[in-house]
Structures are given as C-alpha cells and as structure tokens.
Amino acid sequence: MSRRQQMPIIEMHMMQGRTGEQKRKVAAAVTEAVARSLECSPETVRILITEHRGEEFFVAGITMAERAERQPRAALQEQKP
C-alpha cells in the first residue's frame, strides 16, 4: 500500500462555539480511534474541522438558530397545565 493510501482524512462539521481545548480533545480522541481501527500511525491521520454559524446548519429543514429559539418556547408550553 502506498503512503498516500495510509493517510486517512477525517472531516468534521460542527456548530461554532466550541473552545480550542474541546476541538483538541475531540481531534485527539478521533485520531486515536482511527489509528487503532485502521492500524495506521497517528501521524498519518488528518482531521479537518469546519465550523458553521446557526444560520448555516439545518436539521429537518430548520436552521439551528431557529431550533434554539423554539426550544425555550416548547419547554414553556410543556410546563403549562
């Protein structure tokens, strides 16, 4: 197998707001898991993190910003008798 084939590239997408320390922790954990699973050197694992604003990230056609706005309202409605 050529060296190029041994370099897994992991792409992660997440919402903005995580700290540098959190991103370092997840990168270390993913690196360890990939290296162990693929039996490759951790030095060959590449991780790309792309952060998105709430207006750029959709779940079921609704932005995360809209979902965040709706959650407090939904929780209040559930508490009403």
Positions marked active-site:
8
CA–CA gap between residue 60 and residue 54 (Å, rounded): 14
Return the SS3 of 22. helix
Which among 42, 23, 20 is positioned nearest to 31, based on CA atoms? Answer: 42
